[in-house]
Amino acid sequence: MKGKRGKLLKSRKVEEFIAEGSASRRYTAVLAREEKWYVAHCVELGVVSQGKTIDEAKANLKEAVELYLESFGEEELPRSTQEVVFYPLEVAVRG
26 within 8 A of 80, measured Cβ to Cβ:
yes
Task: Tell me the domain boundaries of the chain.
Answer: 25-74
CATH code at 25-74:
3.30.160.250
pLDDT at 8: 44
The residues, ordered by sequence, that sit 6+ positions from 70 with a Cβ below 8 Å of its Cβ are: 13, 14, 17
Average pLDDT over residues 4-27: 58
Task: Summarize pLDDT for 25-72 with one digit per residue, the tens.
Answer: 888 899 999 999 999 999 888 999 999 999 999 999 999 999 999 988
